[in-house]
């Protein structure tokens, strides 16, 4: 059964780039439309003296739809003032109008935004607050379509296709991804200690870190690990800014895998590590990498995935190659220009293009 949809639009221009983004994303999708510029919505007031404005009437209409789509330009790396005021007023739905607030639970929230310059910190700076708001309100976050007229057409078209597919789907957000023999569970903060132990203190760690084989890659302390993997890597629901997953195999947690926020060329780095040597050689890593790449591509339209294992770790190099990653002929200098850094002195840069038909079996 088709889900009903409503757009809550908030821009300083009613017919600018954000309106064009809405038209593009929803061209063939039935929806209702509310322009907040036509409404009187006051600032949040702890005394609730502003309840005579249009906020509650907008909410009363909004909650009759299955999917809520927020449309806003990005001003100084955040939502427009009109959108921020509207979302601030959701606090009223947690206090004096809980009867309305509880009706948001289970609904899906999508975002459409337009922007005129690249995000200096990637899209995480904009998207994570939306995800956290959904988590707090027990809503399901469906993703964001970023409209940038200067983006290469192939990237824009791919992201749009994925966004529309998610919007037209009837599914809710899941916290587990099923592979052929493994499943990937979205990691939470309680998983961090195990993830750290598997990465740095297991019998498999020697193939990635520390002397004698990797003197240039010292083992990190626990506090450094926590600082390296920011909190958004553990947030639910899933977002395109990156996430860590726990690999499950035959009922046990056996490792970690993560993707990172894509760069301006729509490329996301993949990291993977297993719990122990006893878990290696079973096809776990191969299945986990393939499963994650396919899911993130389908969810967010990230077209390229890359990794840079050391040449001293041929098992890791081979695993990535088995699922369609191909070596890039880069010198250390060009690699630094392309990817910004080098994990190992002998890193091999591998790239998977999700638009190709490379076998992953």
Residue 360 pLDDT = 42
DSSP H helices, the chain, are 17-25, 55-62, 81-88, 98-101, 124-137, 153-168, 192-200, 222-228, 284-300, 314-322, 332-339
Domain-located, residue 333: yes
154 and 191 within one domain: no
Domain-located, residue 360: no
Domain-located, residue 113: yes
CATH of the domain at 64: 3.40.50.360
205 and 160 within one domain: no
146 and 195 within one domain: no
Instruction: Write out the residue range of the structural domain in which residue 123 sits.
Output: 5-168
Residue 38 pLDDT = 96
Residue 119 pLDDT = 55
User: Where among 110, 141, 168 does a domain terminate?
Assistant: 168
CATH of the domain at 343: 3.40.630.30
User: Where among 168, 196, 218 does a domain terminate?
Assistant: 168
47 and 28 within one domain: yes
Residue among 338, 336, 331, 259 at smallest CA distance from 295? 259
343 and 229 within one domain: yes
Radius of gyration from C-alpha coordinates of the chain: 22
227 and 286 within one domain: yes
293 and 188 within one domain: yes
Domain-located, residue 259: yes
Domain-located, residue 361: no
Domain-located, residue 151: yes
Is pTM beyond 0.75? Reply is: no
The helix/strand/coil state of 272 is strand
136 and 95 within one domain: yes
347 and 246 within one domain: yes
290 and 187 within one domain: yes
Question: How far is Cα of residue 86 from the mean position of the Cα atoms in its chain?
Answer: 24
Residue 151 pLDDT = 61
Query: Which bin fits 173, alpha (ψ -120 to 50), beta or left (φ > 0)?
Result: beta
Residue 58 pLDDT = 97
User: Where among 108, 140, 168 does a domain terminate?
Assistant: 168
119 and 145 within one domain: yes
Number of separate domains in the chain: 2
Residue 358 pLDDT = 44
Domain-located, residue 359: no
Residue 344 · residue 217 · CB < 8 Å: yes
Q: Round to whole Å and give the CA distance between 126 and 120.
A: 11
Domain-located, residue 358: no
The helix/strand/coil state of 249 is strand
141 and 194 within one domain: no
Tens digit of each residue's pLDDT, the chain (361 residues):
688 999 999 998 988 889 999 999 998 899 999 999 999 999 999 988 888 899 999 999 999 999 999 999 988 878 999 999 999 999 999 999 999 999 998 889 999 998 876 654 445 567 778 877 887 887 888 888 888 766 655 556 777 887 888 888 876 555 688 899 999 999 988 899 999 999 999 999 999 999 899 998 899 999 999 888 888 888 766 778 899 999 999 989 999 999 999 998 999 999 999 999 999 999 999 999 999 999 999 888 899 999 999 999 999 999 999 999 999 998 888 888 889 878 888 999 999 999 874 444 3
């Amino acid at each position: 059964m088709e889900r009903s949809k409503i757009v809550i639009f908030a821009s300083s221009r009613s017919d600018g780039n954000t309106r064009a983004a809405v038209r593009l994303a929803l061209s063939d999708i039935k929806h209702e439309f509310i322009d907040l510029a036509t409404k009187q919505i006051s600032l949040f007031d702890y005394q609730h003296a502003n309840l005579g404005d249009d906020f509650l009437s907008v909410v009363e209409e909004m909650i009759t739809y299955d999917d809520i789509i927020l449309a806003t330009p990005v001003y100084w790396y955040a939502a427009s003032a009109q959108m921020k005021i509207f979302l601030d007023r959701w606090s009223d739905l947690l206090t004096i109008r809980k009867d309305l607030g509880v009706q948001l639970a289970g609904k899906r929230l999508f975002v459409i935004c337009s922007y005129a310059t690249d995000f200096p910190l990637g899209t995480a700076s904009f998207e994570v607050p939306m995800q956290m708001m959904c988590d707090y309100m027990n809503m399901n976050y469906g993703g964001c379509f970023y409209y940038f007229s200067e983006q290469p057409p192939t990237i824009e078209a791919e992201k749009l296709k994925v966004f529309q597919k998610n919007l037209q789907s009837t599914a809710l957000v899941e916290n587990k991804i099923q592979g052929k023999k493994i499943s990937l569970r979205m990691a939470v903060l309680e998983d961090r200690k195990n993830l750290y132990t598997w990465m740095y203190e297991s019998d498999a760690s020697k193939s990635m870190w520390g002397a004698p084989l990797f003197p240039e890659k010292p083992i990190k302390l626990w506090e450094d690990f926590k600082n390296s993997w920011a909190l958004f890597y553990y947030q639910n629901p899933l977002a395109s800014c990156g996430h860590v997953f726990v690999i499950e195999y035959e009922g046990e947690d056996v490792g970690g895998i993560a993707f990172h926020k894509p760069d301006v060329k729509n490329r996301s780095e993949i990291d993977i590590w297993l719990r122990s040597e006893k878990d290696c050689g079973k096809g776990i890593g191969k299945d986990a990498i393939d499963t994650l790449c396919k899911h993130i591509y389908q969810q967010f339209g990230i077209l390229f995935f890359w990794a840079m294992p050391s040449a001293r770790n041929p098992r890791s190099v081979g695993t990535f190659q088995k699922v369609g990653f191909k070596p890039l002929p880069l010198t250390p200098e060009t690699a630094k220009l392309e990817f910004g850094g080098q994990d190992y002195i002998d890193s091999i840069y591998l790239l998977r293009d999700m638009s190709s038909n490379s076998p992953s079996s």
